[in-house]
Amino acid sequence: MVGKQQNGDYLPFVPAHKLKFELRAEKDKLGVFKNVFASVNTQTAFDQNNAAPDETTTPGYTLLDLGLGGQLTLKQQPIFIGLNANNVLDTQYIDHLSTLKEVNLYNPGRNVSLTLKVPFGFVK
């Protein structure tokens, strides 16, 4: 999106163009796990050179995320386990709309998380 004011200046707070891709594999059963998945995600933000007079331009970046998970059952209780890694390559980037952009603070770096979901309720 490119927006201009009547005087020809670019509009403020217009995000950079982005592309997002996901490759996901799923399997109904793998060993003791059900509904198993593995995913690879990328997000590419292009340079934002159409900055408003009070803004600065922002270089583009590409992020890589990985995920793996599935559900297992222990004593009739379903439990979901997942492992995710965001910004796997630890890319240093600043999103054009970041509120910390003006003080040169980067967006989050590599992050690894383990998810454990146990639904509430009782199984008879």
Residue pair 108/88 in contact (Cβ under 8 Å)? The answer is no
For the whole model, what pTM was predicted?
A: 0.83
Check residue 52 and give its pLDDT.
86
Check residue 113 and give its pLDDT.
97
Check residue 1 and give its pLDDT.
55
Check residue 47 and give its pLDDT.
94
User: Could you tell me the residue ranges of all domains in the chain?
Assistant: 18-117
Taking the CA of residue 73 as centre, how many other CA atoms within 13 Å lie in the half-sphere pointing to its CB? Answer: 8
What are the mean pLDDT values of the chain's consecutive 10-residue runs (124 residues total)? Answer: 79 91 97 96 95 89 97 91 97 92 90 94 63
